[in-house]
Amino acid sequence: MTGLRAYRLDVPPLLADRGIDRVLAFAVPLVMRFRGIEVREGTLLHGSEGWGEWSPFWDYDPVESASWLHAGIEGATRRLPGVRRDRVPVNVTIPVVDADRARQMAAESACRTAKVKVADPHSDLREDCRRVAAVREAMPDGHIRVDANAAWDVETAVRAITELDAAAEGLEYVEQPCASVAELAQVRRKVNVPVAADESVRRAEDPLAVARVGAADLIIVKAQPLAGVARALEVIDAAGLPAVVSSALDTSIGIGLATHLAAALPSLDYACGLGTIRLFRGDVSASPLLPAGGYLSPQRGEVDVEAEEPDANLCPRWSQRLDLTVAALAELERS
């Protein structure tokens, strides 16, 4: 599944001081457009414990990308926590595709839970309902959750959730229906479907606000945006809410670290969003961390691609971005 190349970047002094001895830039094409991109780019960091991943999306500025960088350094240089289970249930992610393709993806996944993307600018509620209903046909006894990526206002969210719940014959939960914590709290009071917070946790200055004001029934936790596995465990413990560990569209390096996070939780009530390697046309590992029978086992991902010659397009962009983010991380740590 590789067929890819990764390219060496210079290691910034701050990263070298923290045990990083190699940095590789990568670009992985996606099976279909997802989250507005067709190629997943990022970097891999190597240290004493193996590989970490730093792959913030391009809409993250250096300050926000600094937490992702902290996670990458941690993944490469710190031991992972002990695990409480030897396998983690995962969901299949259904992008904005037509109903027939959604049905096929759900049926082929062997997962018992599906997360269906909705509220995309290129789709409408009627199409979203058809997609959800098709997934229910493929998973008559499974769980279906939908993810709106903060696209709705409160009124739209209440109407859409009601219709999607009917199409699904019961939703497990709706993920981030609105952008603000206050809106999430309003929606939660108005619907009978549990509300999960994602962006209001991973992109918030205060990731615990949703729990404190009762704006969510559960939280979505992604290790990279929360500065790594250790910090994510702290957030989950402090929130006191059930957690779903999910991928930030990671390669197998990030998936391996996130699976360890899920396997280390005291309780795991929901399938995790860690089956996203299926959305890639390749991977940085010759043994990609793909679910088997709807489960993943906690293990570190291995990097099997490398090239010495720099890519004239990829490398300058990521070298500059890394330098800016290293500077932001240093400034944040001084303040």
Q: Which of 256, 278, 221 is nearest to 44 (CA)?
A: 256
Q: What is the pLDDT of residue 308?
A: 59
Q: What is the pLDDT of residue 68?
A: 98
Q: What is the pLDDT of residue 305?
A: 74
Q: What is the pLDDT of residue 2?
A: 53
* Distance (Å, whole) CA 203 – CA 191: 24
Q: Which of 172, 173, 212 is nearest to 195 (CA)?
A: 173
Catalytic residue, candidates 117, 136, 202, 260: 117
pLDDT digits (tens, 9 = 90+) for 57-98: 999 999 999 999 999 999 999 999 999 999 999 999 999 999
Q: Which of 49, 36, 58, 46 is nearest to 325 (CA)?
A: 58
175 is in an annotated binding site: yes
Domains of the chain are: 6-80+304-334 (3.30.390.10), 88-296 (3.20.20.120)
Q: What is the pLDDT of residue 311?
A: 81
153 is in an annotated binding site: no
Catalytic residue, candidates 222, 231, 260, 321: 222
3-state secondary structure of 157: helix
Q: What is the pLDDT of residue 3?
A: 53
Q: What is the pLDDT of residue 34?
A: 83
Q: Exposure string (b/e) for 255-289, b if CB count within 10 Å is 16 or more? A: bbbbbbbbbbbeebebbbbbbbbebbebbbbeebb
* Distance (Å, whole) CA 278 – CA 290: 7
190 assigned to active site: no
Distances in Å between the Cα of 192 and the Cα atoms of 85, 138, 172, 195 are: 32, 24, 11, 9
198 is in an annotated binding site: yes
* Distance (Å, whole) CA 247 – CA 289: 12
115 assigned to active site: no
Q: Please list the ranges in the chain whose pLDDT falls under 70.
A: 1-4, 306-309
Task: Please count the residues of the chain.
Answer: 335
